[in-house]
Structure 1
Amino acid sequence: MTSKNNDESQIRQLIADWTSAFCLKDIDRLMANYADDVIIFDIKPPFQRKEANEWRRAWEECLPYFPESFQTETRDMIIHVSDDVAFAHWLWRFTGIPQEHRAIKTWMRATVGYKKQNGRWLIVHEHASLPFNPETSQVVFTSDP
């Protein structure tokens, strides 16, 4: 396996580990994937979050409001890798959520930047978003992108 293929496999595994930790609401496992100086552009305010500790606090505040049990579905994932920097983007949504739960029932977008530090890939930038209609400033919810 070439180094580039190996790096892409490591990024795919990091994404799978992150997703598993997210679905289990395991904050320690989630945070193990982030560099200390990560920059986050999240769906909900504030505009940006700097540093892993700030992002940890955000997870601690919001994960209790997530459904007891859920999974995610991912599609259209693309990963670009160079020697020590990589990025990936994909569409994702929650699955397995009870109909009455308030969790978002739409496809969302993710773009994540990675940097290899001491031989290990870590998330250095994460951007989650929902499309919006610029004429109304309203989020566009879609069940089929």
Structure 2
Amino acid sequence: MNQDEEQMRRLIEEWAAAVHRGDLAAVVRDRADDLVVYDVPPPYEGLCGLDAYRAVWPGFFAWQSSGAEFTLDVTAGRDVAYAHALLRCGTPEELAERPALRLRLTLGLRKQGGRWVVAHEPHSFPELSSPPEPSSS
């Protein structure tokens, strides 16, 4: 594993740990100011910028605290700045109903000021009749 791949893997693993803790500051720490996110819940046209990204997390944290799982298996490109993962993301009931369900995550990274930052973050579920969505409460 080269040094860049190690840095990307650490960045992603720290992000996942921050998501588990509900630590908003750590979740947004390694994101570019002009980040573009295509997420599972609306808005389907995507989010642009750190403020918009920061605003969606409280609802997800509340949903996750209800017992949802969020696990991460990462594969990082060796010579390119991207990573992808399949995540088990759902409440225990949702995961029991659809045990093979995985959220797809791709991270596009760029080096900025000597460190890797995430600049693009699309999430998706395979075609489903009703993908689980975090509550907005």
Give the TM interval when normalised to the shorter protein: 0.7 to 0.9
1:117 matched residue in structure 2: 112
Match status 1:24 vs 2:21? yes
1:56 matched residue in structure 2: 54
Instruction: Give 1 or 2: higher helix fraction.
Output: 2
How many residues of Structure 1 are paired with residues of Structure 2 in the alignment? Answer: 128
Contact preservation (8 Å) 1:23, 1:69: no
Contact preservation (8 Å) 2:89, 2:103: no
Letter in 2 for 1:33: D
Task: Tell me, in whole angstroms, the C-alpha distance in 1 between the residues paired with 2:9 and 2:121.
Answer: 15
Task: Tell me, in whole angstroms, the C-alpha distance in 2 between the residues paired with 1:6 and 1:100.
Answer: 38
Task: Tell me, in whole angstroms, the C-alpha distance in 2 between the residues paired with 1:61 and 1:15.
Answer: 21
Q: Secondary structure at the match of 1:132?
A: coil
Task: Tell me, in whole angstroms, the C-alpha distance in 2 between the residues paired with 1:80 and 1:56.
Answer: 27
Q: Where does structure 1 lack aligned partners over 5 or more consecutive residues?
A: none
1:108 matched residue in structure 2: 103
Deviations 1:27-76 (A, max 9, x none): 0000102111000000011020000110101112332232256653334x
Instruction: Give 1 or 2: higher strand fraction.
Output: 1
Q: Compared with structure 1, are the counterparts of its residues 65 and 71 closer, same or farther at alpha carbon in structure 2 (3 Å cutoff)?
A: closer
Shift of 1:117: 0.3
Deviations 1:78-128 (A, max 9, x none): 21244xx60011211148x55489xx9731111110001001101000011
Q: Where does structure 2 lack aligned partners over 5 or more consecutive residues?
A: 133-137
TM-score by length of 2: 0.79
Runs of 4+ in 1 over 6 A off after TM superposition: none
